[in-house]
Structure 1
Amino acid sequence: MKGRMKDFTPKSKWLGGFVDPITQTQVRSKDQLKKLMEERGFAKMGEQQVPLLIREHQRKYQYIVSEATIWRKK
């Protein structure tokens, strides 16, 4: 299938979106990003849901909602 995340980024580089093979728990990108940013001295200032419309061709569109986060160096 074209356009899947693993077609663009090797799974070893993913922050989340998979099950931890040892603990069998879901690893979420959002949680991993927070951990990495805090380790590097950033504080999360806020987050916002951002709607996005992607036009694929004349009659086909994708509507998605992304989450944007705002970080500040401590």
Structure 2
Amino acid sequence: MPKVSDAHRARRRQQILAAAAACFARHGFHRTSMQDIVTESGVSAGLPYRCLAGKDDIIAAIVSDWHQQRQPPSPTTRSRRT
């Protein structure tokens, strides 16, 4: 059986997180089931549990990713304005 690459795992994780975010936005966190996330993402039923432990881990990962994407650039990477 071929080994799954880290890049493939990362894409699948992002696919699950995007599907979960859509489900949470549509139904709310408490009304969204793991089955809803599986259906929305189109992955096998067990895959979300191999990537993340459950809904609490999923929401934590969504928030963490969102926060990291919105970090201001470090002072050394800012462009200089004249």
TM over 0.5: no
TM range (shorter): under 0.3
Q: Which has the higher contact order (CA 8 A, sep 6+)?
A: 2
TM-score normalised by length of structure 2: 0.23
- Where is the helix percentage greater, Structure 1 or Structure 2? 2
- Where is the strand percentage greater, Structure 1 or Structure 2? 1
